Amino acid sequence: MSKTFSALVASILLAVSTAAAQTVPKRSAEEMKKSYEAHRGDFDYLLGDWEFTSESREFGKGRGYWSAIRLAAGADILDEYRVVGDKGETYYESATIRSYNAVLDRWELISAESGSGLQNFGTARKVGAEMHIEQKFGVMSTTPSLWRIRYYDIRPDRFSWTADRSMDGGKTWEKNHLQIEAKRIGPARTLEPLARKPRS
């Protein structure tokens, strides 16, 4: 839990510094509160445990597990994405913190991968019944890419996911580079507060 908490703290600090470097729109406290209340549940569909199958143009067919949990404070969500082999061995894993920014009226995401630090910053907005994300991947590698991700056909027990990928900063796009079909295998959960009075 300590590594997850440290990554969470670092990601929040990075998101704050990234937002501070931008021109901050003038929004009243009431406007920000209304935005927060309106959007705090946008990612609620992701909460819980999932099993997924995938189809990648680069790696072919795949499978794995995806779990998301709400943090005790606010609407922030921490999720872990894991690609596994036929025997359950881990091929790839990452953890992502998703936090709503009421000042900029958008969701912000940052991922952590073992040995690669915090990377893959992205932004997200709900569009009708779908969630749309634009996110960078592989920023610490020699082949960084930009992805446009779409969650759609979202239901209580399943959702679909597709991503277009650009290797040239958004000039050209490869359609449906990766597609995912997820099915629920566990209910939504909320993480208990980490900073709390010890039980007597």
Per-residue pLDDT, averaged over 57-61, amounts to 95
Does residue 34 fall inside a structural domain?
no
Q: What is the DSSP letter of 190?
A: B
Helices (H), the chain: 2-20, 29-39
Does residue 10 fall inside a structural domain?
yes
Q: Residue 194 pLDDT more than 90?
A: no
Domain count, the chain: 1
Does residue 17 fall inside a structural domain?
yes
Does residue 121 fall inside a structural domain?
yes
Does residue 200 fall inside a structural domain?
no
Look up the CATH number of the domain holding residue 164.
2.40.128.20
Which residues fall within 8 angstroms of residue 194, CB to CB, at 6 or more apart?
1, 5, 72
Does residue 28 fall inside a structural domain?
no
Give 69-121 pLDDT, tens digit per residue: 999 877 899 999 999 999 999 999 999 999 999 999 999 999 988 777 788 99
Q: How far is CA 92 from CA 65, 82, 85, 107, in A?
A: 11, 6, 10, 24
Q: Residue 41 pLDDT more than 50?
A: yes
Does residue 38 fall inside a structural domain?
no
Domain that holds residue 171: 2-21+45-186
pLDDT at 105: 95
pLDDT at 18: 52
pLDDT at 180: 98
- The model's pTM is 0.83
pLDDT at 76: 95
Q: How far apart are CA 42 and CA 107, in angstroms?
A: 9
